[in-house]
């Protein structure tokens, strides 16, 4: 069993966030569209569902980050990414569109973080 991992630096976290969508794009390149809608394992999520969840996390948690950057003392009403999925059309979007939107949203968030002094 591996030992404890060291905490990631801010720059390492930002790099992982920046490269995540490209890694998903490479992993799904050339896959038949229908296969991306099938669960990856019995009872599991499909690639499309995973992307919907990532988009919901980006919207929900990224929205919290933007409020922290914009407001002096933000208060939050908790919303889970799953409730975000239920009130959006993320699950009905194609994998290609979901990945494109995730990439754009992620780059926008990273631009905001970097502009605020996050490297």
Residue 33 lies in a domain: no
- Geometric angle at alpha carbon 70, from 102 and 107, rounded to 5°: 20
In total, the chain counts a number of residues equal to 119
- Domain extent, residue 61, equals 10-28+38-115
Q: Mean per-residue pLDDT for 48-77? A: 94
Residue 84 lies in a domain: yes
Tens digits of residue pLDDT in 1-41? 677 789 999 999 999 999 999 999 999 999 999 999 999 89
Q: Residue 80's domain is classified under what CATH number?
A: 1.20.120.450
Tens digits of residue pLDDT in 81-99? 999 999 999 999 999 999 9
The structure tokens 């569902």 sit at 49
Residue 46 lies in a domain: yes
| Closest by CA position to 77, among listed 55, 60, 98 | 60
Tokens standing for residue 90: 């993320």
pTM of the model: 0.86
Q: Mean per-residue pLDDT for 62-69? A: 93
pLDDT at 67 over 90: yes
DSSP code per residue over 23-63: HHHHHHTT--GGGGGSBSSTTS-BHHHHHHHHHHHHHHHHH
Residue 3 lies in a domain: no
């Amino acid at each position: 069993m591996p030992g404890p991992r060291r905490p990631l630096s801010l720059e390492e976290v930002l790099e992982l966030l920046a490269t995540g969508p490209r890694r998903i794009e490479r992993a799904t390149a050339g896959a038949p569209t229908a296969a991306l809608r099938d669960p990856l394992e019995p009872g599991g999520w499909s690639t499309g569902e995973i992307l919907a969840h990532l988009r919901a996390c980006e919207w929900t948690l990224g929205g919290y980050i933007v409020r922290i950057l914009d407001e002096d003392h933000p208060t939050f009403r908790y919303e889970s990414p799953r409730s975000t999925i239920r009130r959006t059309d993320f699950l009905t979007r194609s994998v290609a569109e979901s990945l494109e939107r995730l990439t754009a949203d992620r780059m926008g968030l990273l631009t905001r973080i970097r502009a605020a002094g996050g490297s």
